[in-house]
Amino acid sequence: MLRSMNHWNGGLFDEFRRLEREIDQVFGAGGWPSGIRSVTRGTYPPINIGSTPEQVDVYVLAAGLDPKSIDVTIQQNLLTVAGERKLEREEGANYYRRERFEGAFRRVLSLPDDVDPARVEANYRDGVLHITVKRRESARPRQITVN
Amino acid sequence: MNTTKDLGRPEAGAVAQGPDAEHFLRPAVDILEDEGGITLYADMPGVPRDGLDVVVEGDTLSIEGRADFRLPEGMQALYADVRSTRYQRSFSLSRELEGDKIAATLKDGVLSLRIPKREEHKPRKIDVRVD
């Protein structure tokens, strides 16, 4: 079970790359319209969004944050994640590399229209903020029994 | 010729053998030195303790991690900045560092490594006498 989850884990992320390549091939790189709220690659924090018929899952990859400093708000289908990352700097030490992000951040995500802003949950674990937004019941696919 | 490709979920088993199966994320690091040694911080969000590997082989320090995002079954991708679940980065150590005495901690996806210097390489304050 664990193995299949891991496998699927990688599978979803691989699928994104494959999709991107195919879109590039069909439309030519740069021809695909960008979302109005999309950001430059490399913006902090990186975010992945996935969906199932029941819910939309948002993964914010923000290591080393104080969970209390993370501000998650939702208005209709617009999810905002904001916060500040503070790093301890050692005075008198000689820094060779400073690649890790420091400072305030804010990302606004446009989720599918059928999410229910009243049913949002957020967890912080291993440096990943996982936000689950349930979809409205009426929007879910329903199995109709044929008599 | 098959031009209409299935954009849906890849077949089980196809992923591991794909050409990009070994795609790694490069974790962002801070590296600093003080008198006692070198400290390295690496951002590896999503990596649990049992998914982390810190290996010193010869003079090469390698950091590897496998993130576990706990995705619900049947999830479809809507958007992704991150397209892999594996982190990898390596560094070469210089001789004055004690590779076998590295201390590692992992908290909230941040790996901290402390690499001490050999005693004889710690700087010594030299008194300047004034005659």
Mean pLDDT, residues A34-60 = 83
Percent of all residues in chain A with a pLDDT value above 90, rounded to a whole number = 52
With tokens 């390698």, the residue in question is: B62
Beta strand pairing call for A128-135 and A115-125: antiparallel
- Nearest by CB to residue A49, choosing from B45, B70, B79, is B79
Determine the Cα–Cα distance for residues A37 and A39; give it in Å rounded to an integer: 6
On the question of a cis peptide bond just before residue B123, with omega within 30 degrees of 0, the verdict is: no
Q: Are A103 and A123 in contact (CB under 8 A)?
A: no
Flag if B74 and A5 touch (Cβ within 8 Å): no
CA-to-CA distance for A46 and B44, rounded, in angstroms?
12
The chain A residue lying nearest B74, using CA atoms, is A52
CB atoms under 10 Å from CB of B96, counted, come to 13
What is the average per-residue pLDDT within B15-31? 70
Q: What is the mean pLDDT of residues A55-60?
A: 94
Element (H, E) at A24: helix A2-27
**Would the pLDDT of A32 be above 70?**
no
Q: What one-character DSSP code corresponds to residue A136?
A: P
**CB proximity B52 to A under 8 Å:** no
- pTM for the full predicted model: 0.74
Query: What is the spatial distance between Cα A44 and Cα A87, in angstroms, rounded to a whole number?
Result: 14
Which residues in chain A are contacts of B68 at CB distance < 8 A? 6, 9, 126
Question: What average pLDDT is seen over chain A?
Answer: 81
Q: Which residue has the higher pLDDT, B3 or A114?
A: A114
ipTM field: 0.74
SS3 call for A84: strand
* B78 contacts A19? CB cut-off 8 A: no
Return the residue matching tokens 């969906």: A51
CA angle B30, B35, B41 (to 5 degrees): 15
Q: Does B77 touch chain A (CB under 8 A)?
A: yes
- The pLDDT of residue A29 is above 80: no
**Band of the pLDDT at B74, cuts 50, 70, 90?**
confident
pLDDT the model gives residue A38: 67
Indicate the Cα dihedral angle B23, A132, A5, B7, nearest 10°. -60
In this prediction, residues B28-52 reach a mean pLDDT of 94
pLDDT band at A18 (very low <50, low <70, confident <90, very high): low
How many residues in chain A?
147
- CB-CB under 8 Å, A56 with B15: no
pLDDT tops 80 at residue B24: yes
Contact A13 B16 (CB under 8 A): no
pLDDT in tens, A72-100: 999 999 999 999 999 988 888 899 999 99
Give B113 to chain A, closest Cα distance, Å.
14
For residue B32, the chain A residue with the least C-alpha distance is: A95
- Do the Cβ atoms of B111 and B63 come closer than 8 Å? yes
Q: Closest residue of B to A90, CA-based?
A: B32
Q: Give the pLDDT band of residue A33 (cuts 50, 70, 90).
A: low
